[in-house]
Amino acid sequence: MRHTLPVAPQFYVTAPQPCPYLSGRMERKLFTALQGDAAPDLNDKLSKQGFRRSQNVLYRPSCAECSACMSARIDVSKFTPTRSQRRVEKRGNHLDRRATSPWATEEQYDLFRKYLDGRHAAGGMADMDMFEFAAMVEETPIRSRLFEYTDKRSLSAVCLTDILDDGLSMVYSFFDPDLEKLSLGTFLILDHIKIAQELGLPYIYLGYWVPGSPKMDYKANFKGLEVYRAGVWEPLGDPAGYAVDAHPLSTDPIAEQVARIELPPGRT
């Protein structure tokens, strides 16, 4: 009889490349593979420690001289919509939501291309073809859902969402840029808060919040927002109170970061 011992995940660091959020800076990521039967437990555990999923990889920023990027989540119990957010909910009430398995379609890809061309033409995903899009959607070793939002017969927005043991993680979302008046980016977050409430899940994971980055300002508008900083989750408070200065001592050495990562039982 063959016995397989649990193997601790191996962590690696990407080569530095230009930061997509703060001009003139370089980004670097700490990452590990997400595979096998233990993938859901590893994803749950590391998501609580600031990691995000991209296909079969879990990663978090680990820049050499900058610690501006912080994982962000909404504490659903502390969320109350602003007047502006209530208007967004009302304007989007006509959209029908449909939850499906993570399976890519040409209709989704057409909307994805329209979104990139209208909002992120110079971004890192600008050259993604249908096969790469399908891999982004379908290559998931954990429990994921694709939420489609339609206006009558037209697809208006899509969100790839992971179901964690303590919340929903919005992995990637895109929408029709021509529907700017609907504020669909905000609407998708508000609707996920509603889904989490229905499921009794306490958190909505939003990716990263970066002070000083206009791309990320909208996340600070949600009450109950928490950020992961120095190993703990803390209420955001005043966004202006977070420094974006670069300093060689702002991050710990990789070995120390890895040593502090908590793994699921049996994976150490």
Of the candidates 146, 144, 143, the residue with the CA atom closest to the CA atom of residue 159: 146
Of 250, 251, 247, 221, give the one whose Cα is nearest residue 236.
Answer: 221
Q: Where are the domains of the chain?
A: 11-69+243-260, 72-241
**N- to C-terminal Cα separation, the chain:** 24
Per-residue pLDDT of the chain (268 residues; tens, 9 = 90+): 444 445 689 999 999 999 988 888 999 999 999 988 899 999 999 999 999 999 999 999 999 888 899 999 999 999 999 999 999 999 999 999 999 999 999 999 999 999 988 776 566 677 889 999 999 999 999 999 999 999 987 999 999 999 999 999 999 999 999 999 999 999 999 999 999 999 999 999 999 999 988 888 899 999 999 999 989 999 998 988 887 776 767 778 889 999 999 999 866 5
> How many angstroms separate the CA atoms of 149 and 169, rounded?
17
Q: Give the pTM.
A: 0.93
247: helix, coil or strand?
A: coil
Structure tokens, 121: 């033409």
Q: Is the dihedral of CA 223, 226, 227, 230 positive or negative?
A: positive
Helices of type H across 104-253: 106-119, 130-138, 184-199
Question: Is residue 225 a contact partner of residue 207, using CB atoms and an 8 Å limit?
Answer: no
Which tokens is 154 given?
A: 């037209």
Beta bridge partners of 154: 151
- The label of the residue with tokens 């209208």 reads 118
CATH topology of domain 72-241: Aminopeptidase (3.40.630)
Neighbour-count burial for 104-141, b at 16+ CB within 10 Å, e otherwise: bbeebbebbbebbeeeeeeeeeeebeeeebbebbeebb
